[in-house]
Structure 1
Amino acid sequence: MVTNMIGELVLISAVVLLLFSFYKKMTVNDKYFERQNIKYLKPKFVVGNTGAMYFNKIDPVEIGLRFYNAFPDEPVFGIFDFQVPYYVVRLPEVIKKIGVKDFDYFQDHREFTDANTDKMWGNTIIMMRGEKWRQMRATLSPAFTGSKMRQMFELVSECADDIVQYFSKKSKNNEDINVEMKDLFTRYTNDVIATCAFGLKINSFEDPENTALNIEFLDASFATFFRNLILDTMEVRKNQNIYRPDMISLLMQARDGKLTHSDEKHALSKESFATVDESDIDKAVVNRTWNDDEIVAQCFGFFFAGFETGSTLLTFSAYELVVNPEVQQKLYEEIAKVNEQLGGQRIDYDTLQKMKYLDQVLCESLRKWPPIVQTDRNCVKEHVFDCGNGIKINAEKGALFFFPIIGLHRDPKYFPDPDRFDPERFSDENKISIVPGTYMPFGIGPRNCIGSRFALMEIKAILYYLLLNFSFEACEKTQIPVKLQKIPFSLKPENGMHVKLRKRQ
């Protein structure tokens, strides 16, 4: 009897100790910001402040704005992603300090995987860290200059024209066509990335079941298929001396150390207000050789980054053109005028980039609906800096910082009446007054999105061709105002984005 009681007590004690240890582990960081005298959102047990997002209780814009507005008078405050503490940087000057001026202390993103764990994901430039990232950034930067985009534009233009031809055939008697725009633009970005990254000519409208469209990014077998596809294509091109103005050819040059910054004197100084600025890192000397896994991973990363973000931005741009017909009309008039000047010939890269109102519309879409609603930085070495308001941060190595892109983009202090879609914010006379550090749809500093030029090029191209031939109008299934799915990170319409394409006479 006594032995049984002792056994039960030991078991109960072990359970209590186990639960206590679990509790301590889950709450070890709860006082993280309190120790630095920084305000913070009190975390919920285990899930911190982000549980509602991961459990599909709130959409990405809503939670982003909720965080941003939690402490409106604080330059920096704290939140918890489960148990992981993040400094939320609210003041543009501090964002610029971390993202640009003190970049050497904050050059990495939070680590989710590495090359040892996953050779495909871990080797992409998005996941690379430290000096390896710097060398890859300098290696790839020449591939995304204006001159390279100019060479690649014909491939993009063909994809856009294919879509117009498809829907023109479908509307033989000029009848209206109801289209789910997310599906349309996903097929388009699929075709663009397939031709520009893989060297594959695909038409996802004529062949809706093609392999590329049905890619499962997390499928282990896909990594092998993808790797073999890219390396085999490279081998054939090398042996047969084939050149095509796409990413594979550029990566072959990078692997051989022949990809360099070309003379950009004939290029436009900056194609768009949204285009990211280059840094010294982009033009640094590369002194390492890349292996096949590292080269193939860049092609994979290029596909993944362009596939989803491009179709998302296009989807919400189409929505805004539907609900703001005066904007659509003004944009159409610019497109029609350019088409007339071209004599009905296909538009070229430079002419497309000179279309001011088209750029204003895209910049405003990126402001209101940035496909990436936040970004982060990881402190790579201890750093102490002043944030204003008497707040000084002692950032230890590994400290994480969160830039609330959607919050800044919808802050009435920087963008009055932020829920209104107004491309005039980005007119020549108005954009000069935009506060630096408040508009960053492609990130900020040397760690910004390397593919911003490509993204804007493919988006402008399809809008030009579609709007030249069709108007975007609401149909009975169009949800106005649009509501978002309650899923982490990605902006997706709750019920799709259904739009009527009406053939222009």
Structure 2
Amino acid sequence: MWWILAAAAAVALCHWLLKRPHKYWIEKGVKQGRPIFLFGDSWEQLSQKQSHPEMVQMVYNMCPNTRYSGIYQLLQPTLVLKDPDLIRQIAVKDFDHFVDHPAFIPEDSDPLWNNNLFALTGKRWREMRATLSPAFTSSKMKYMFSLISQSGEQFVKYFLKKNEDVITVEMKDIFTRFANDVIANTAFGVQCDSLVEPKNEFFVMGKKATDFSGFWKNLKFMLFFIAPKLSDVFKVRFFSEEVNQFFTSLVRTNIQSRETHGVVRPDMIQLLLEARKNRLKHEELHSIQDTGFATVEEHEFTKNAKKIEREITDQDIASQALVFFFAGFDTVSSLMSLMSYELAVNPDVQDKLLLEVDEALETCNGKITYEVVLGMKYMDMVVSECLRKWPNSVATDRISTKPYTIEPKYPDEKPVHLEKNTSVWIPIFAIHRDPKYYPEPDRFDPERFNDENKAKIKPYTYLPFGTGPRNCIGSRFALLETKILFFYILSHFRIIPVQKTPIPLVLCKKQLNLNAKDGYWLGLQRSSKI
């Protein structure tokens, strides 16, 4: 009989120990929802009943009329920041307390991942960011413009060869292939045509590197975040060994060939090699146009930071090139897919953009230029609104690198003391859809970003590329790539709904990244001008 009582006591103790972490925010006087035993606020997403953007929206709305609220990713307490002024305070003003992202995996388990700019922490991140940021200025985008333009021209020529008035395509597939070719060309010095050669090795490896669908992969990400030591025990890696070897070997071979034969290309590896020789300077020519309203500026914190003193290794370059690919392969193709969808279901918006494309073509005599593309105001408004409604980074995070206190602002608040290594979330997707900042948030309206209205947008409520010194270093590249491709597409085609087009759009619940449940099926209708 005693062993039954002992077992019951052990079960009760385990239950108490597992349930107690979900009282963490209550004990700090922070409002929270009703976390599910063991799974916290993550169960609906983990069980694929809820998409990641829907989860972000849920936790944002969970405790209305608060500047912040508490959630739990499994047992991990996370503070959700909802007030723009508080976001500025933590992500910018007091950035030195929140320099890092939470670590996904143990430092030594996957060198290719852990040496990239996103994963680096502390001093190593500061030095790498300061070293790389000159490679992502608008003048460097102009430097790479011709390579991106080549891929855009190649993309459109493929569809112009088809003898069909309306070509039905799944947009995410074709845009992923375009993004693959652009990244291969601009980051790795490899020329691909993934529409003509759909199973080329570069594209296949890219798909493997960015596929996060399915329950077990979602669980693996949770394991990275919640129990990094356990991930280390089981040797769980971010990228597979196959992906690691392919990209590392590709970069090393490329660098060796360039140094042996004196090859110079206007691409990312060349810029990283220049950074290795400390030849890159953070300077902008005032005559160079920037890529648009959504562009994030490099913060003085990193502009003035000390650069890497040691030599940048081939491994460092491979890591940066791969994360550049990782971001560009999926997130940019998602932006393009969602923009094409919005243009198709909002024909009045597309009509206006088509008119601007025609005017731009006349200006440049049919030959695309960097200045003409970036001079298209309505194009920028459309891209900006798409990033407002569908930000690819639905949330961003930080971790406190030292103790920090959020002082009370309202009578019902008290000081919130955050210990070192406390996670905080900025729910970008939900902030962008808050009617307090964007009336009728589900409506696609580029006029929110006309010259008059964009000046009225409350600071820190538009964050498609994050904010503060740790914002997305590749915002200019993503915007330029998107604008160039849509310039080419709309020069020859109109994007229209077809029978398979899902209206309204339903988000996929099986992937962490932003995607449509049934794909982005649309039609490319030949322009009568051709």
TM range (shorter): over 0.9
- Select the residue among 300, 317, 321 that pairs with 1:280: 300
Q: Which residue in the other structure is 2:221 paired with?
A: none
Q: Which residue in the other structure is 1:254 paired with?
A: 275
Structure 1 residue 13: Cα displacement: 5.6
- Select the residue among 15, 18, 33 that pairs with 2:25: 33
Question: Once superposed, which parts of structure 1, at least 4 consecutive aligned residues long, lie more than 6 Å away?
Answer: none
1:162 and 1:34 mapped to 2: Cα distance? 57
Structure 1 residue 294: Cα displacement: 2.1
| C-alpha spacing 1:91/1:128, structure 2 compared with 1 (3 Å) | same
Please tell me whether the aligned partners of residues 53 and 488 of structure 1 are also in contact (alpha carbons under 8 angstroms): no
- Select the residue among 305, 319, 323 that pairs with 2:341: 319
Q: Which residue in the other structure is 1:265 paired with?
A: 286
Please tell me whether the aligned partners of residues 155 and 192 of structure 1 are also in contact (alpha carbons under 8 angstroms): yes
- Select the residue among 379, 390, 397 that pairs with 2:420: 397
Q: Which residue in the other structure is 1:19 paired with?
A: 11
| C-alpha spacing 1:176/1:288, structure 2 compared with 1 (3 Å) | same
Please tell me whether the aligned partners of residues 48 and 83 of structure 1 are also in contact (alpha carbons under 8 angstroms): yes
Please tell me whether the aligned partners of residues 131 and 308 of structure 2 are also in contact (alpha carbons under 8 angstroms): no
1:488 and 1:206 mapped to 2: Cα distance? 28
Query: Which residue identity is paired with 1:238?
Result: E
Q: Which residue in the other structure is 1:81 paired with?
A: 73
Aligned with 2:392: secondary structure?
coil
- Select the residue among 202, 207, 212 that pairs with 1:212: 202
Residues 376-422 of structure 1, C-alpha deviations (whole Å, 9 max, x = no match): 11000011132522432211101111111011100111000101000
Q: Which residue in the other structure is 1:65 paired with?
A: 57
Residues 107-165 of structure 1, C-alpha deviations (whole Å, 9 max, x = no match): 11111124411101111111111111111111110110001110101110011111110
- Select the residue among 505, 524, 530 that pairs with 1:482: 505
The number of residues matched between the two structures is 493
Aligned with 2:435: secondary structure?
coil
1:322-361 alignment, distance < 5 Å: 322-345=344-367, 347-361=368-382
Aligned with 1:277: secondary structure?
coil
Q: Which residue in the other structure is 2:488 paired with?
A: 465
Gaps of 5+ in 2: 210-238
Gaps of 5+ in 1: none
Please tell me whether the aligned partners of residues 77 and 89 of structure 1 are also in contact (alpha carbons under 8 angstroms): yes
Structure 1 residue 350: Cα displacement: 2.1
Please tell me whether the aligned partners of residues 75 and 389 of structure 1 are also in contact (alpha carbons under 8 angstroms): no
1:260 and 1:18 mapped to 2: Cα distance? 62
Structure 1 residue 266: Cα displacement: 2.3
- Select the residue among 148, 162, 169 that pairs with 1:179: 169
| C-alpha spacing 1:163/1:488, structure 2 compared with 1 (3 Å) | closer
Q: Which residue in the other structure is 1:406 paired with?
A: 429
Aligned with 2:489: secondary structure?
helix
Please tell me whether the aligned partners of residues 507 and 515 of structure 2 are also in contact (alpha carbons under 8 angstroms): yes
Q: Which residue in the other structure is 2:216 paired with?
A: none
Structure 1 residue 21: Cα displacement: 4.7
Q: Which residue in the other structure is 1:300 paired with?
A: 322
Please tell me whether the aligned partners of residues 75 and 387 of structure 1 are also in contact (alpha carbons under 8 angstroms): no
Structure 1 residue 488: Cα displacement: 4.5
Q: TM-score, normalised by structure 1?
A: 0.95
Aligned with 1:74: secondary structure?
coil
Residues 75-122 of structure 1, C-alpha deviations (whole Å, 9 max, x = no match): 011111110111111100000111100000011111112441110111
1:335 and 1:452 mapped to 2: Cα distance? 23
Larger radius of gyration: 1
Please tell me whether the aligned partners of residues 472 and 500 of structure 1 are also in contact (alpha carbons under 8 angstroms): yes
Q: Which residue in the other structure is 2:39 paired with?
A: 47
1:233 and 1:17 mapped to 2: Cα distance? 62
- Select the residue among 386, 393, 412 that pairs with 1:372: 393
1:257 and 1:211 mapped to 2: Cα distance? 33
Q: Which residue in the other structure is 1:424 paired with?
A: 447
| C-alpha spacing 1:239/1:13, structure 2 compared with 1 (3 Å) | farther
Percent identity (aligned): 41
